[in-house]
Amino acid sequence: MFGGTIAVALLLPTLGAAAARGPVPAASSQAPAASSQAPAASSPAPAASSPAPAAKTIPKVLPCLGLPEVRPANYLMSCADANASWKKVKWASWGANTALGTGDLYQNDCQPNCVSGHFRTYLAKVVLSDVTQTKKYGPLYSKATFSYTVKEKHLSETFGLAT
């Protein structure tokens, strides 16, 4: 008597898990105990491995706080002193090797020194590049290059990004 009760108790969680995954194939209705365990072992593997490669192919940027982001409009590049960031960036493309956008480079001019300096805003083109593969977050852009003009002089600056 206890054997039947235990068997039912053990089958209910298995059948419940199979029901949560969706309909059981017609062939499995002939042998419920064997078929309910087979989909449990085989169906999660493709589902778990399919999304992971897609997520890893798109590089992100790692902010000072929080999780990596894709296409952030605002981003602080210098976490220690907050002397450089981008703002209001609109991304034209975000690819496997580079990302291209236009927005504001906001940075301290550090004149005469960074404590006494003033923050300046420059309309700039930004290129993210140098994708680095990380164990924790996958691919991350590690370099941001800004191109902008000040008093008819073309300038370019490159910043390392957190990885």
Which of these, 50, 46, 53, 80, lies nearest to 65 by C-alpha position? 80
In this prediction, residue 11 carries a pLDDT of: 34
Whole-number average pLDDT of the chain: 77
pLDDT-wise least confident of 24-28, 84-88, 112-116: 24-28
Which of these, 25, 20, 99, lies nearest to 58 by C-alpha position? 99
Q: What is the pTM of this model?
A: 0.65
Same domain assignment for residues 154 and 98: yes
- Give pLDDT tens digits for 50-86: 444 444 579 999 999 999 999 999 999 999 999 999 9
Same domain assignment for residues 97 and 133: yes
Write out the residue range of the structural domain in which residue 139 sits.
Answer: 59-160
68: its two tokens: 């990596």
> Where do we find the tokens 């949560």?
20
* Rg, the chain, Cα only: 26
Is 96 strand, coil or helix?
A: coil
Same domain assignment for residues 24 and 79: no
Same domain assignment for residues 137 and 67: yes
In this prediction, residue 57 carries a pLDDT of: 78
In angstroms, the CA 119 to CA 106 distance is: 7
Same domain assignment for residues 24 and 98: no
- Give pLDDT tens digits for 81-110: 999 999 999 999 999 999 999 999 999 999
